[in-house]
Amino acid sequence: MRTQKLISAGFAIVALASASIPALAYNTWPDIDFEWYANVGKPFAQPVIVALAPREGYIVVPGRWENRGTHQVYIASHYVRDDYPQQLAVYNNPNGSTSYATGPLILRDRDGNIIPTQPDAYPVGSATR
């Protein structure tokens, strides 16, 4: 009989504790502003996204975030002059006086052997020996 009263008292304590947990959880202290934590690091004002119309002779660069040191800066979308034909003409200059290429003219492996770059240097069946 004594054991039954002890078990009943245990169930009563557990029932009262489980009923009081939601009331205690509702009044949390200290009051934490979870929205503030979720927005840490976001800029205060969102940039206006502007889609630029295509323009003849220009390339549209979309807006983007860039890292500048320890902070981010928003770069708005803008136009860049399309000078690919002029750059290609300078690079392919036959007299070689002006060239934008900075790599080696002759490719070599680690032993100093020349690496051929022409497609005919590698026959079709050479890889299946």
3-state secondary structure the chain: CHHHHHHHHHHHHHHHHHHHHHHHHHCCCCCCCHHHHHCCCCCCCCCCCCCCCCCCCEEEECCEEEEECCEEEEECCEEEECCHHHHHHHHCCCCCCCCCCCCCCCCECCCCCECCCCHHHCCCCHHHC
Counted domains in the chain:
1
| Domain-embedded: residue 84 | yes
88: in domain: yes
Question: 39 lies in a domain?
Answer: yes
Does residue 13 fall inside a structural domain? Answer: yes
User: Given pLDDT bands bounded at 50, 70 and 90, which one contains residue 82?
Assistant: very high
Decide if pLDDT at 116 tops 60.
yes
Tell me whether residue 68 is in a domain: yes
Q: How confident is the model at residue 127 (pLDDT cuts 50, 70, 90)?
A: low
- Is residue 91 in some structural domain? yes
Mean pLDDT confidence for 67-85: 88
38-56: pLDDT as tens digits: 777 777 767 677 788 989 9
